Amino acid sequence: MIKTYIKREQYLSRIKPFIGKEMIKVITGQRRVGKSYLLFQIMDIVKRSKLKNNHIIYINKELSEFDAIRDYRDLLKYIAHQSKNGKKSFVFIDEIQEIEQFEKALRSLQAKGECDVYCTGSNADLLSGELATCLSGRYIEIKVFGLSYMEFLQFHKLKDSEDSFLKYIKYGGLPYLINLNLKDDVVYEYLRAIYETILLKDIVARYGARNVNFLERLVEFLSDNIGSLVSSKRISDFLKSQKINISPNIVLNYLSFLTSAFLIFKVPRADVRGKKIFEIGEKYYFEDLGIRHAIVGYRHTDINKILENIVFMRLKMLGYKVNVGKLDNREIDFVCEKSGERVYVQVAYLLKNESTRSREFGNLLVINDNYPKIVVSMDKTAGGQFKGIKHVNIRNFLLQNI
């Protein structure tokens, strides 16, 4: 199979040390973020490697030619039939969650040690339950996201500029956009189709979610409330005002469906001074802002929440565990932790007056520790520090590590 692609080195560098090793490689992420093309890139590495007698077996459950593989028995039979004596099989399975009880096949393949297995999935529950228990310590998960701003520039052959950044925040980072004319009607029609596929295949079909109208209203509510503290009761009360009577428990179930499909991310609140996680009130952000705009439209009046979403996704791509911080009656946009270190990040559109500057810097100044603290905004003059707190322009923030 010949495929042309642009390498995504930040993911390949994580996978390369495990190629040829007896660990199952599980690649997860929302539909159309580039998981399939990452498999092709790994296949090419295998083909060019010095590994002797390797044999590639490729299965894509989105192609009709693999419809006969319905459950784990079919999968094991297919792999056994495709394997060749004396050669090590490198097995690549795209969208493995479409195969019933696939975890039994992975457990069997891993136990025999005859195959090097790579699989992708568009569901966050892929590694839960029995699979995680059976394969504990014998698999690695690589989470794949849409294009970062740096990748967006690379894929679309653009230079960093205000116009390039506007394209990024309007259309998002799904890789296939390089094949489309970046115009609203063209891009948003494509993104709406992706959104509908996620709803129907990854939520309605998988979880049996019957109330599709409510599901769509819920996504619209979250689209309008990016970066706002919400709760299942608040959502339920809002829906009642719209003549939709849904209990908070059902709201929680549908929210979990949306997060499992990687359409949205749930970000809980945590006390900055300790480890306490607050059970009520969290924030939600979209994996891809282009899909969000395809649902409710791109509005410049939403710029604050759009920038907050972009910064959140950058932090996720960098591998941080992210919470919303609470310190007495103050809120810290993002408390980020990785490898025992912590970073605090505040996001603002423009620090155009003293009250805005006092709020954004003031919230960070009251935190009594020595971890890095950053205010990110679109101010062209952003740079330098204020009482030890960095002020960074958002484009620079997206192009640099923190």
Secondary structure of the chain in HEC code, one letter for each residue? CCCCCCCCHHHHHHHHHHCCCCCEEEEECCCCCCHHHHHHHHHHHHHHCCCCCEEEEEEECCCHHHCCCCEHHHHHHHHHHHCCCCCEEEEEEECHHHCECHHHHHHHHHHHCCEEEEEEECCHHHHCCHHHHHCCCCEEEEECCCCCHHHHHHHHCCCCCHHHHHHHHHHCCCHHHHHCCCCHHHHHHHHHHHHHHHHHHHHHHHHCCCCHHHHHHHHHHHHHCCCCCECHHHHHHHHHHCCCCCCHHHHHHHHHHHHHCCCEEEEEEEECCCCCEEEEEEEEEECCHHHHHHHHCCCHHHHHHHHHHHHHHHHHHCCCEEEEEEECCEEEEEEEEECCEEEEEEECCCCCCHHHHHHHHHHHHCCCCCCCEEEEECCCCCCCEECCEEEEEHHHHHHCCC
Yes or no: say if 146 and 30 are a contact pair by the CB < 8 Å rule: yes
CA-closest candidate to residue 378, choices 401, 355, 360: 360
Tens-digit pLDDT profile for the chain (402 aa)?
556 789 999 999 999 999 999 899 999 999 999 999 999 999 999 988 876 678 999 999 999 999 999 999 999 999 999 999 888 899 999 999 999 999 899 989 988 888 999 999 999 888 776 667 777 778 999 999 999 999 999 999 999 999 999 999 999 999 999 999 999 999 999 999 999 999 999 999 999 998 999 999 999 999 999 999 998 888 888 888 888 888 888 999 999 999 999 999 999 999 998 767 776 789 999 999 999 999 999 999 999 999 999 999 999 999 999 999 999 889 999 999 999 999 999 999 999 888 888 889 999 999 999 999 999 999 999 988 999 999 999 999 999 988
Size of the chain, expressed as the number of residues it contains: 402
Burial of 76 (0-12, 13-18, 19+ CB in 10 A): middle
Strands 385-386 and 389-393: antiparallel
Supply the pTM of this predicted model. 0.95
Integer Cα distance of 169 and 290 in angstroms: 7
Structure tokens at 57: 């077996």
Residue ranges, comma separated, of all CATH 3.40.50.300 domains in the chain are: 9-143
CATH code of the region 9-143: 3.40.50.300
